[in-house]
Homo-oligomer: A and B are copies of this chain.
């Protein structure tokens, strides 16, 4: 059940983020739907490729597909005034990141992979959809840009690798922690160190 909840939250959140990015790029309605779908299912596809499950298993999730379609339609037709409440699509990106990062880490953990694999699974499952979204919108992927992004997914993976997340409430705490840390990052403009190179 926890598993399904994470899948649903991640799917909805990434579908919304894909739709908003597509609208910012002035893509037409079908472009909006396609970018939303690709963002929503890109995380799952990345996870499947990484753990060796056929990508075609995604077809079994007709329910998630319907949920994504409804979500995208609602966002596309909803009154403009609501967008003032959404404001930053990064919030939805953060929800998707947290949901899929936890799910990817749980999956890798159940298959008894080593800690490093769990951390990488958390990172790539959580960020796969967003990377594909940004490449298709001809943007530099968010994960590489200004604010701290990937670290929270990796910390989530680390927590699960060391046994946190046996109980549902622990997963809820972890989920909220990742989302809050991600939003605080955006709000305060936290950054990781970088190093410039004259090219």
Once A27-B144, A62-B116, A144-B35 are accepted as A-B contacts, the answer to whether A138 and B138 lie under 8 Å apart by CB is yes
Once A34-B150, A138-B140 are accepted as A-B contacts, the answer to whether A145 and B27 lie under 8 Å apart by CB is yes
Chain B residue contacts of A30, Cβ below 8 A: 143, 148-151, 154, 192
Chain B residue contacts of A32, Cβ below 8 A: 194-195
A31 and B145 contact, CB distance less than 8 A = yes
Chain B residue contacts of A29, Cβ below 8 A: 192-195
The yes or no answer to A52 lying at the interface (CB within 8 A) is yes
Task: Report A147 CB to chain B, min CB distance, Å.
Answer: 8
The yes or no answer to A131 lying at the interface (CB within 8 A) is yes
The yes or no answer to A123 lying at the interface (CB within 8 A) is yes
The yes or no answer to A173 lying at the interface (CB within 8 A) is no
The yes or no answer to A180 lying at the interface (CB within 8 A) is no
Once A143-B34, A150-B34 are accepted as A-B contacts, the answer to whether A56 and B65 lie under 8 Å apart by CB is no
Q: How far is the CA of A57 from the CA of B117 in the complex (A)?
A: 12
The yes or no answer to A26 lying at the interface (CB within 8 A) is yes
Q: How far is the CA of A22 from the CA of B192 in the complex (A)?
A: 14
B123 and A131 contact, CB distance less than 8 A = no
A199 and B28 contact, CB distance less than 8 A = no
B136 and A141 contact, CB distance less than 8 A = yes
A52 and B49 contact, CB distance less than 8 A = no
Pick the 7 closest A-B CB pairs, nearest first: A52-B56, A31-B144, A28-B192, A24-B199, A23-B197, A27-B144, A30-B150
Identify the A interface with B (CB < 8 A). Answer: 20, 22-32, 34-35, 37, 49-52, 54-57, 59, 62, 65, 76, 83, 113-114, 116-117, 120, 123, 131, 135-141, 143-146, 148-151, 154, 191-197, 199
